Amino acid sequence: MKKLSKKTLQKSWFRWFCSNLTSMSYQWLETFAFTDAMAPVIKELYDDKEDQIAALKRHATFYNTEPQLGSVINGVVCGLEEERANGAEIDDEIINGIKVGLMGPLAGIGDAIIPGMWIPLLLSIAIGLAKGGNILGPIFYIVTFLVSVTFASYYLFFKGYQLGTKSIDIIVGEAAQRVRESFNLLGSLVVGGVAASYVSVSTVLEFATGNDEATVVVNDVLNGIFPNILPLILVIFCWWLMAKKKISPLKVMLILVAIAIVGVFVGFF
């Protein structure tokens, strides 16, 4: 009965954790990161060179997911590989199918949590703390992000290893679906807060009414209708361009450049 040592599993996690995008290319993305992370596991489970080569080849198939929380898949696959080495009927198709089946849903959950919610939230708090050049801001971000994400990645890896195929039901199950929706809900609110705090658009337009004291400051009028209405309109406009008109972020940026130039030219900004 072969059993992966804790040390080997830790090695495998650490390889993935550090090198998940190390050799990324358009064609292969995280493929070789996954293969390389399996190397210590393969060496421990298989002594025969042919078996080792077969195992390496098994894991060198296209792979891409959210790197931080995606470590749970590495854990699951380590468990599968261990069962296989002990004679369980798990062929290449099954292992690859599980990897491909999990990488999509996990990328969804992972992106909703890490870049979609956690980073903007921590950065917003840190920016508040860093007012006036206070070093507390960057320190807060470094510590909270590193500790939380490293712990989550490590924990999920070993959770995936322990639960094995049972974790598949959890990851693709309806509870995971609800978790993703919940994080999307939280993320939407956070993104709304970020937009209100950091997108800044204001106009310098003024209309003289003949009476010096009654000059109409357009920006004040607009904010009287709804606070920060110009930033809101701009965000919705960018979203509409990307989501509805399928315009790439780069082109949206160029459109903003054009708006800025024209805006300054006509005296709007």
Residues within window 22-61 making contact with other proteins, judged by CB under 8 A: 22-28, 31-33, 35-36, 39, 43, 49, 52-53, 56-57, 60
Site for other proteins, residues 196 to 215, rule: CB under 8 A: 196-202
CB 63 within 8 A of CB 31: yes
Q: Which residue from 123, 168, 217, 218 is in contact with other proteins, where contact means CB under 8 A?
A: 123
CA dihedral for 107, 113, 115, 117, sign (positive or negative): positive
Task: Give the list of residues 6+ apart from residue 2 with CB closer than 8 angstroms, or none.
Answer: 44, 45, 82, 85, 86
Residue 168 Cβ vs other proteins, minimum distance, rounded to whole Å = 18
Q: With binding defined as CB under 8 A, does residue 128 bind other proteins? A: yes
- Work out how close the CB of 84 gets to other proteins at its nearest, in angstroms, rounded to a whole number: 17
Dist. CA 15–CA 151, nearest whole Å: 15
Phi and psi, residue 25, nearest 5° = -140, 170
257 touches other proteins by CB under 8 A:
yes
Name every residue whose Cβ is closer than 8 Å to that of residue 163 and which is 6 or more positions away in sequence: 76, 79, 170
Q: Which of residues 4, 67, 75, 76 is near other proteins by CB under 8 A?
A: 67
User: Judged by CB, which is closer to other proteins: 148, or 164?
Assistant: 148
C-alpha–C-alpha distance, residues 23 and 125, integer Å: 33
CA 245 to chain CA mean position, Å: 24
Q: What does the DSSP 8-state code read for residue 29?
A: B
User: Which span (2-10, 74-82, 91-99, 130-138) binds other proteins, by CB under 8 A?
Assistant: 130-138
Closest CB to other proteins among residues 143, 209: 143
Cβ distance to other proteins smaller for residue 164 or 205: 205
In this structure, the dihedral spanned by the alpha carbons of residues 144, 23, 161 and 100, taken in order and rounded to 10 degrees, is 110
Binding status of residue 170 toward other proteins by CB under 8 A: no
7 binds other proteins (CB under 8 A): no
Q: How far is the CB of 1 from other proteins (least distance, A)?
A: 25
Contacts (CB under 8 A) with other proteins, residues 69-98: none
